[in-house]
């Protein structure tokens, strides 16, 4: 039961919706320190109760879900303070290093987590996680950077706080509505739905490709992480290429390679699956770097919220379509549809003169370029 709860926790952490601009209402350093400290305390209660009075699985699920929510709270803060710490000229390189480390740690620690849970159990694994998060909180306490102004207005009710929150989100939308960002968000929503259609069927697809070997699912997940990591590593070397042409070529390549993933045997299928994921690492890094570089500090959290939460709205639709396709036809069809969607994504960028003609990322002006159909 605990294993299922931990799996649910990982799904929550993997979610794309974030809580900013809640982070705008606290000092960024305090938000990072105290949110991680709270997560550590919440996790510690699980082994403490387990070894004393006993614990219910629903309590475990609740605590893991709450800690996952706090993770979503800190992400926009991290995105906001990165330009402050590294400077505008180093954003792409800094994002590349951070994302590379994240992907590498995902690969290493997911494997390590499996080993720990197998040999020492789930509860000790949660205890180790709590200790690691506590160390993160202590590390953030030593951070030193200029703190942007914080919204210190106080309100008298939860209703008033909620109204202010949604007004802040609306202000973030108004800030970007005449920029290139909405066009990019539309593209990302489309790709996200296609990715969910595929990933919904990925467990069944991996079983089909491997003739029932469950470990194949892990191979596909690892190959995707490796592909994204490669994309983040090479992106700083590609930033001199025109952004529009780079994305068009990269996603056409991904579409073709994922067609091979759908049709070829297991080993070449996983290799092409990894190669196709490289474009995702490139797109994520360049778009977020451009936003961090050009959006005013006060609005970064709000824009990050919009650009990550909007695609998440398409996840239920993607899951529904993916489930229907996998049940009615074959899981390979879902992978093929995702590959075709990558090519359609490229055609959309190719058909838009604004997106097609985007210069190298350092020269892209998200807010002053004339937006044409």
Look-up of token digits 């202000």: 171
Q: Which range marks the domain in which residue 137 is found?
A: 1-142
Mark which of 142, 167, 198 sits at the end of a domain. 142
Helices (H), 121-180: 122-141, 158-176
Answer whether residue 158 is part of any domain: no
pLDDT at position 368, please?
Answer: 60
Tell me, yes or no, whether 329 and 212 share the same domain: yes
* Tokens representing residue 124 in the block: 């000790």
Mark which of 97, 126, 142 sits at the end of a domain. 142
- What's the whole-model pTM score? 0.73
- Residue 200's region, left for phi above 0, alpha for psi from -120 to 50, else beta, is alpha
Answer whether residue 159 is part of any domain: no
Mean of all residue pLDDT scores within the chain? 79
Tell me, yes or no, whether 245 and 134 share the same domain: no
Task: Dump pLDDT digits (tens) for 281-312.
Answer: 898 888 878 877 788 777 777 777 777 777 77
Answer whether residue 230 is part of any domain: yes
Tell me, yes or no, whether 98 and 235 share the same domain: no
Tell me, yes or no, whether 200 and 314 share the same domain: yes
Query: Is the model's pLDDT at 172 over the cut of 70?
Result: yes
Tell me, yes or no, whether 342 and 236 share the same domain: yes
Could you give the CA distance from residue 18 to residue 309 in angstroms, rounded to a whole number? 7
């Amino acid at each position: 039961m605990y294993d299922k709860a931990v799996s649910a926790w990982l799904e929550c952490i993997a979610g794309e919706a974030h809580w900013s601009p809640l982070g705008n209402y606290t000092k960024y350093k305090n938000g990072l320190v105290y949110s991680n400290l709270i997560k550590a305390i919440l996790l510690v209660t699980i082994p403490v109760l387990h070894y004393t009075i006993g614990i219910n699985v629903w309590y475990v699920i609740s605590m893991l879900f709450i800690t996952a929510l706090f993770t979503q709270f800190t992400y926009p803060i991290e995105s906001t303070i990165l330009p402050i710490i590294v400077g505008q000229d180093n954003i792409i390189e800094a994002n590349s290093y951070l994302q590379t480390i994240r992907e590498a740690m995902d690969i290493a620690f997911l494997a390590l987590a499996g080993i720990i849970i197998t040999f020492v159990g789930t509860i000790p694994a949660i205890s180790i996680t709590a200790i690691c998060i506590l160390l993160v909180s202590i590390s953030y306490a030593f951070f030193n950077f200029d703190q942007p102004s914080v919204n210190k207005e106080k309100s008298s009710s939860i209703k008033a706080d909620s109204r202010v929150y949604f007004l802040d989100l609306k202000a973030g939308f108004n800030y970007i509505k005449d920029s290139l960002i909405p066009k990019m968000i539309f593209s990302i929503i489309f790709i996200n739905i296609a990715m969910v259609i595929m990933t919904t069927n990925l467990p069944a697809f991996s079983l089909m490709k491997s003739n029932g070997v469950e470990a194949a699912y892990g191979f596909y997940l690892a190959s995707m992480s490796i592909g994204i990591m490669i994309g983040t590593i090479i992106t700083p070397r590609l930033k001199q290429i025109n952004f529009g042409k780079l994305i068009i070529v990269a996603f056409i390549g991904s579409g073709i390679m994922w067609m091979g993933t759908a049709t070829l045997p297991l080993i070449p299928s996983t290799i092409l699956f990894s190669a196709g994921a490289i474009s995702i690492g490139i797109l994520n890094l360049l778009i977020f770097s451009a936003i961090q570089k050009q959006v005013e500090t006060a609005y970064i959290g709000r824009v990050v919220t919009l650009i990550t939460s909007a695609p998440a709205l398409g996840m239920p639709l993607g899951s529904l379509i993916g489930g229907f396709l996998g049940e009615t036809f074959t899981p390979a069809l879902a992978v093929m549809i995702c590959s075709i969607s990558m090519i359609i994504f490229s055609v959309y960028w190719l058909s838009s003169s604004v997106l097609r003609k985007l210069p190298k990322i350092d020269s892209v002006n998200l807010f002053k370029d004339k937006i044409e159909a």
